[in-house]
Every structure is written in C-alpha cells, then in structure tokens.
Structure 1
Amino acid sequence: MEKIIVIRIRGTNKAKKEIKDTLYLLRLRRNNYAVILDKTDSIVNMVRKVEPWVAWGEIDRDTLKELLLNRGRIKGNKKLTEDYIKDKLKMSFDEFVEKLYNSEINMNDIQDIKPFFRLVPPKGGYKRKGIKFDYKHGGAYGYYGKDINILLKRML
C-alpha cells in the first residue's frame, strides 16, 4: 500500500466545524504540521474534503528517511535517533524506513513516537500564486503527486 504525506498549509479561521474536525482527525492541528498516512479510499476522501487547507501527495523512501531523521520526535520532545530505533525495535534505521514505507509497521504501533511532524515554512515561500489557489492552477494547496517531495525538502 502506498504512503501519502499530508501537510497543513492554511489556518482554520472562518472554516466550518466539519473542516476543523476532519483536520483534527487527521492530526493536523496547526499550520506546517505533516502526517504520513496509508493511501486508502477513506483517508483520500477525508483529505479531499479539506483540500483547500492542505497539500498532499505520494512520499518516496529517501524523503521519508530524511523526514524521520530531521523532524521525527519521541515522547518528551526528543529527537528520533537511529540508536532509539535499534533499542526499541531491534532493527536498523534503514529497515525501519523500509517497513514503514511498505506498511509492514505503522507509526501508531510504535510506542512513544509522535505520529506527526512539525515542519518550518518552505524556504523561499510557496512561490507561484500562494496558498489561495490549487496546485494545478499555480497555487500551493491540493494534490501534488510526486512533486510533494520537492516541497517537503524545502520545509525540512
């Protein structure tokens, strides 16, 4: 099963309660938060419902590894390290990334790892037309496909 990453790029001021609840269920509580999810019909429909508030697309292995190393956190707001993965899961960091990417393990199954990532605003801004237009029409929100990895690397 393919993994997608969803990044919240807009605030919810003047948004309907239904939109706020969906963002809450996706664990996107603040701007520039990101979550990694399985690409199932129910998840994709939830993401499409809140599409004007998020950017999303398919993540690749290299970007996933970089995201976990740079922005992964454990309980107590400590960095996720290779030593922690070796101690807790008895596997190397590369094996962990591979199993996570192939959906053999889930972020929620691992104790003490936070299921969301706090990112910084992208270097150079969102460029193009900004966050009020979708990606197809020159903006920043919506479905990026594989191009989400470019945006994500600018936010690490």
Structure 2
Amino acid sequence: MIAAVRVRGRTGVKKGIQDTMSMLKLTRINHLVLLHEDPTYKGMLVKAKDYITWGEIDEETITQIITKRGKLSGNVNVTEEYIKENTDFSSIEELAKAVVAGEATVEDAGIKPVFRLHPPRKGYEATKQSFKEGGSLGNRGNINELVAKMI
C-alpha cells in the first residue's frame, strides 16, 4: 500500500501535472490518499513528483489515520460503532489490515478517500528538493514518520 501526500501548492503547476494530481484526488496541500501498488499509479506519482511525496505505509499508521482523520459523508468522524454496524469488519484495525492486504479500500467502508492532514510538526525538510537531496518531494520509501508528524 502506498500513501501519497501533496506537499506543494497550486500556483504555477502545468496543466498535465494538475490533471494527474486531480485524478489522484490530491487537490490541496496536506491531502493524503491511499493507493494500491499499480504501474498506472506509479507512473502518475512519477509525473507529479515535484509536487507530492509518497512511500510505503504500514497498517498501524493507516489505523491512526482512519481513527483520527477519517471522515464519512456529511463530514462525520469515523467511529468503531460505524465500522461494526455498516461493514464486514469488526474494528478499524481489521479494516486497516484488509486495506494493506489489498482486499478492501476505504471507499468500500464508506470513508472518504482523501484524508486532510495538518502541516507536519517541525515542518518539512524543504519543499523544493527531492527526498534524496534532503528535501521532502518524491519517493521516500517509508512515509510513516512524515504521516505521524501530520496526524
């Protein structure tokens, strides 16, 4: 499972890259989406690499995201009771395991696919350099630390 976070804003973005990010549902800064590892998504991520960061995410972090930042239709917070009553899962942890395994998506549970996060505590490293150059853009391998700072 891959998590992608938009780091940079809308100003000066070329139309093709802007369309790619809207297809990924990354329309604003600090929005996060969960994507399955797929060559199509990988190509889209590489195309938008100057505006987003992405990496592998574990089920513990997905559980925290759904619990703290997950929203239902009508902007209502996700609760354990909702998951038990309206899905085939008995808890948020079980849903997170199914999402990581690729057996389910958050949309299947009625949760909005975009998670709105806070800016990271202690800030980004740099928003104009790639992760390999000491910045915060592009593929970072493991994104759990950044997401934990943003929840």
* TM-score scaled by length of structure 1: 0.93
2:127 is aligned to 131
Q: What are the Cα deviations for residues 86-140 of structure 1, in whole angstroms up to 9, with x where unaligned?
A: 01014222221111111111223333x100100010001013xx10000001011
Amino acid at match of 1:99: A
* TM-score scaled by length of structure 2: 0.96
1:86 is aligned to 84
Distance 2:107 2:60 in 1: 21
2:140 is aligned to 144
C-alpha displacement at 1:65, in angstroms?
0.7
- 2:34 is paired with a residue whose SS is strand
1:15 is aligned to 13
Query: How well do the aligned residues superpose, as a CA RMSD in angstroms?
Result: 1.0
2:102 is aligned to 103
Amino acid at match of 1:67: I
- 1:104 is paired with a residue whose SS is coil
Give the unaligned 5+ runs of structure 1.
Answer: none
Tell me the number of residue pairs that the alignment of Structure 1 and Structure 2 aligns: 150
Extract structure 1 runs of 4+ deviating beyond 4 A: none
2:32 is aligned to 34
C-alpha displacement at 1:76, in angstroms?
0.8
- 1:133 is paired with a residue whose SS is coil
Give the unaligned 5+ runs of structure 2.
Answer: none
- Equivalent pairs: percent with the same residue? 37
